[in-house]
Structure 1
Amino acid sequence: MMLVIDKPAGLPVHRGPAAKGRVIPVLTDHLDALRFGLPRRPEAAHRLDKDTSGCLVLGRHPRAMAQLNQLFRDGRIEKTYWAIVEGAPAEDAGLIDLALAKRSPERGWWMKPDPDGLPSQTRYRVLGRGILDGVQLAWLALEPLTGRTHQLRVHCAASFGPIRGDEIYGDAPRDAGPGLHLHAQGIAIPLSPKREPVRISAPPPPHMQAALAACGWSGDDKLS
């Protein structure tokens, strides 16, 4: 019914306007290799930003896509992201409740906090704290309760400090490679009402591991 892949940071899921006129690898270029005997290639059932790594769900056929899309729409699929933020959250856990709107018509996918925007909520938990290269860091587990564009990036930047490596909402240099420290670490999918959800996790990518270690990560990607 489905595949869950570990998408690399820096790989777009779809070919968008930024790829016009340029030869840029995208995930959809490789999906034919994942048919495994079915007549159609799988398709992404949700989205991840280009620079976000981790768990991405693919539906293997139209019936599967319909069921997965409904589960995502109903908010029944639990998603956990790991992020390294450059800051020091005052509380170890909480809820970010901050409406978001488009920053400008010219940058339709860039967002900003706006009380008149769409309701947006993210649960967070601090998993560790540390210092790397003289910068105070916090390792967060994030659970988006809504699915706005760049929600986690804007919520973190507005509440604690930018996610490490963020070119848009932080001060990371542009085009420096897949440096965003945001990773779709785990997902739980309730395929059957009579069974426990299917739970999948993906280990953090290499570019996040030094910052994670500075915050106390020991190499175990499971949430305890």
Structure 2
Amino acid sequence: MAAAGATRGARRLAERLRAEKRLAERSAGTGARTPTGPTVRDLRAWSLPGEAGLILINKPPGLPTHGGPGVERSVVSLLPALSRLLFGGGAEPLRICHRLDKDSSGALLLAQSAESADRVQRALREHRMSRVYWALCVGAPTPPEGILDIPLIEKETPGPQKHFKMALCPRFRVSSDGSVQRFRVSRSAHEAVTQYRTLEKSSGVSLLELQPLTGVKHQLRSHLALALSCPILGDHKYSHWGRLAPQKLPAPVLRSLGIPSPQARSLLLHLHAAQITLQLSPEDPPLVLRCAPPKHFLSALRRLKFSPPSLQDIPLPPDEGSP
């Protein structure tokens, strides 16, 4: 009887899979496709008052800035539609001014013309543009605030699941006898400097304010996970070094978030670009541009009983005065 029941169950499963396959083939044949990911309506956009040609968007998490192999939708792919939505038909597509990682959310500047994009990129090169991020991290950094000045280098990880990650390439290391030794930094390494401070901590999670003073790929994620041992909540890439696996959360963190352990694998990255401070020319006063965190970030703050940080309380970079 048990064998017969198992056979019937296997037959029903096979029939369902065949039906799903036929439906997929029919959809492919007619060109029908279910759209996935954020749409142009999700790119909350504002024209900067008094700054013709610059647009601020609050990028949702999970949307890549640029396209690539296997990327169905990106900010770049949505720019023509966003241009039409903001400026009407025949408008020139907007341009990306700087980078924001796929899994991060928050402030991203766009430009209507190559000249406007050039002004922003020149300000970035000349250190007249700075960014502030908020991150929810597993653990609490020691000390609670400081500056990380540790170069980063991209490396292939060991083990059966070969993949590439940014790794620390420190100038100084502590030897087995406790002495500090200086090492020559690889030519392939990138200078990476991050300023951080702890805003709040509880239940094995901390809320950090971060200011990257350089712009290296995955700088904040790798500095927090590898230098401070405080990976960002929802960072499934840097929570383990040698393997690709979902982030494992301690029991107190799971209880505070109100989720079972298996659900942790679907957590989004809790890293948000909250503020951009931009001085378009040395003579101009700085523009202070702020974006509120997305729903998943605010929901985690509520569950952790953290006070949502105020955008108005973000300090400005030195020597830039008031907004």
Q: Specify the alignment match of 2:199 in structure 1.
A: 127
TM-score between both structures, scaled by the size of structure 2: 0.61
Q: Quick check: 1:173 aligned with 2:246? A: yes
Q: Deviation per CA, 1:19-78: give whole Å up to 9, x if none.
A: 2xxxx2211221113332574211111111111000001121011111111111122101
Q: How many residues are treated as equivalent by the alignment? A: 215
Could you tell me how far apart the structure 2 residues matched to 1:122 and 1:102 are? Answer: 18
The higher relative CO (CA closer than 8 Å, separation ≥ 6) is in 1
**Higher helix share goes to which structure?**
2
TM-score between both structures, scaled by the size of structure 1: 0.87
- Residue type of the partner of 2:285? E
Q: Quick check: 1:187 aligned with 2:256? A: no
Could you tell me how far apart the structure 1 residues matched to 2:109 and 2:266 are? Answer: 24
Correspondence list, 1:109-124, <5 A: 110-115=165-170, 116=185, 117-124=189-196
Instruction: Tell me by how many angstroms 1:176 deviates.
Output: 5.0
Give the ranges of 4+ consecutive aligned residues of structure 1 lying more than 4 Å apart after TM superposition: 105-108, 174-178
Identical pairs, percent? 35
Q: Specify the alignment match of 1:222 in structure 2.
A: 312
Instruction: Tell me by how many angstroms 1:9 deviates.
Output: 0.2
- Residue type of the partner of 2:294? P
Could you tell me how far apart the structure 2 residues matched to 1:202 and 1:97 are? Answer: 27
SS of structure 2 residue aligned to 1:140: strand
Q: Deviation per CA, 1:104-156: give whole Å up to 9, x if none.
A: 29745x2111232222100001111112xxxx011111100111100000000
Gaps of 5+ in 1: none
Q: Quick check: 1:25 aligned with 2:114? A: no
Q: Quick check: 1:203 aligned with 2:292? A: yes
Report if aligned partners of 1:43, 1:60 keep a CA contact under 8 Å in 2. Answer: yes
Instruction: Tell me by how many angstroms 1:220 deviates.
Output: 3.7
Please say which structure displays the higher CA radius of gyration. Answer: 2
Could you tell me how far apart the structure 2 residues matched to 1:177 and 1:26 are? Answer: 21
Correspondence list, 1:1-224, <5 A: 1-19=53-71, 24-35=72-83, 36=87, 39-104=91-156, 107=163, 110-115=165-170, 116=185, 117-131=189-203, 136-158=204-226, 159-170=228-239, 173=246, 176-177=265-266, 179-213=268-302, 214=304, 216-218=306-308, 220-224=310-314
Report if aligned partners of 2:273, 2:291 keep a CA contact under 8 Å in 1. Answer: yes
Report if aligned partners of 2:95, 2:114 keep a CA contact under 8 Å in 1. Answer: no
Could you tell me how far apart the structure 2 residues matched to 1:215 and 1:70 are? Answer: 41
- Residue type of the partner of 1:32? P
**Higher strand share goes to which structure?**
1
